[in-house]
Amino acid sequence: MYLEEFVTALSGESVETAVSEGRCLAEPIGCGESTVDENGNLEYDSDDPTDEVWYSLDWQMTGLCPACQDELDEPDDYLAAPSEEAIETAVSLLDLWTELEPDDDSE
């Protein structure tokens, strides 16, 4: 199954359909809300004029409105930041893994 087919199966519509209708993909992927104002301009919450270009490109590729795009970029509150101990353990395991890998010269 291709990504477009997966999106269509999950939301009941394609990215192309949502964009052509000027809105975000339907739930559960997007919010289904209109993404353009009465003049046909993409609505977004930013003072940076270059954001319109990026939001527009992302919307056309993903079908997600700027608000849904921003939501994806925000870290999830329920995910705990790794502790210093967990980071040190992971680094130690990676170091050990590197030591255990066979040298290419020894073959």
Query: pLDDT tens digits for 10-69?
Result: 888 999 999 999 999 999 889 999 998 888 888 888 888 788 888 889 989 999 999 998
* CA proximity to 51, closest of 27, 69, 30: 69
Q: Helices (H) and strands (E) in the chain — how many of each?
A: 5, 0
Looking at the domain assignment, is residue 83 inside a domain?
Answer: no
Place of tokens 């993909």: 25
Residue 37 lies in a domain: yes
Partnered with residue 42 across adjacent β-strands are: 36
**Structural domain of 60:** 3-73
Structural domains of the chain, count: 1
Assess if residue 28 is contained within a domain: yes
pLDDT in tens, 72-103: 877 666 666 778 888 888 888 888 777 776 66
Buried/exposed 58-69: b ≥16 CB within 10 Å, e otherwise:
bbeebbbbbbbb
Q: Is residue 54 part of a domain?
A: yes
Report the predicted TM-score, pTM, of the whole model to 2 decimal places: 0.62
